[in-house]
Amino acid sequence: MNWEGGIRVPGLLRWPGVIQAGAYIDEPTSNMDIFPTIVKLAEAQLPSDRIIDGHDLMPLLQGKVTRSKHEFLFHYCNAYLNAVRWHPGNSESVWKVVFFTPNFSPEDSNGCYDSHVCFCHGGFITQHDPPLLFDLSRDPEEKFPLTPETESRFYEILRVVHLAVDNHSRSLRPVPDQLSWDNLLWKPWLQVCCSSLLPCIPIKTVVPG
């Protein structure tokens, strides 16, 4: 789920002489950051024909900076944008906007126990208009949704987040269907001719002539 308890998964890293032992970083990052980090460490170049959403983690891991480069993080439930986190550069507040929540079953529970999985669309969710707004710097457990009465910048925060969502959506490009028949069909000519259990079997090509 995209509540903080599902998002904030600890990561443990060890690199003697590069990453300081015992360091603690309380900044959310993303799996998308792994790719540009490895590319930078390999002294290679990132692809220039697409938008790379991740950022190099090394400055954060080595203590050269204290904040992630992600001003916005977009949290998806399958293919549906579920929530957005915004950490303004000039503020200690961390805002989180939640567009929909799953309909738990049974109703008085905190999970989808009847179906064993929470779905992300249709009658399985409740859309929120306006979205739920939390200040994670004061309410990390997301217990108290803010309202225009309790947060004077309520509509301004939503406006900025919606603008970020629009920019993010325009940057997305469709990818080929990974479950198409062309990707699912077995291609024997791509199979290796040996395994870790058997010795390699040489393949001879006979050309009639």
State residue 148's pLDDT score.
96
| 84 and 9, same domain (yes or no) | no
Give the whole-angstrom CA distance, residue 130 versus residue 146: 11
CATH at residue 110: 3.30.1120.10
Token pair of 8, please? 């904030």
CA pair distance 107, 116, nearest whole angstrom:
14
- Residue 32: the pLDDT is 93
Q: Is the dihedral of CA 70, 74, 127, 118 positive or negative?
A: negative
What are the pLDDT digits (tens) for 9-67? 888 999 999 999 999 998 889 999 999 999 999 999 999 988 899 999 999 999 999 89
* 75 and 100 in a common domain: yes
Lowest mean pLDDT among 53-57, 163-167, 192-196: 192-196
**Domain end point (choices 39, 69, 99):** 69
201, part of any domain: no
Based on the domain organization, do 99 and 63 belong to the same domain? Answer: no
84 and 42 in a common domain:
no
Number of domains into which the chain is organized: 2
Residues 150-156: what's their mean pLDDT? 96
Q: What is the dihedral of CA 190, 191, 194, 196, to 10 degrees?
A: 120
Question: Is residue 89 located within the same domain as residue 131?
Answer: yes
Residue 145 resides in a domain: yes
* Domain identity same for 65 and 75: no
**CA–CA separation, 23 vs 61, rounded Å?**
8
| Distance between start and end Cα atoms, the chain | 64
Domain of residue 166 covers 71-172
Question: Which segments within the chain are labelled E, that is strand?
Answer: 72-77, 80-86, 95-102, 125-135
CB 131 within 8 Å of CB 97: yes
Using only C-alpha atoms, what is the Rg of the chain? 23
- Specify whether 85 is located in the same domain as 37: no
Of 47, 27, 45, nearest in space to 136 by CA: 27
Summarised one tens digit per residue, pLDDT across range 113-126 is 887 788 888 888 99
Q: Report the helix count and the strand count for the chain, using DSSP H and E.
A: 5, 4
Q: Are residues 64 and 76 in the same domain?
A: no
For Cα atoms 11, 17, 22, give the angle at the middle one, nearest 5 degrees. 45
Q: Is residue 164 part of a domain?
A: yes
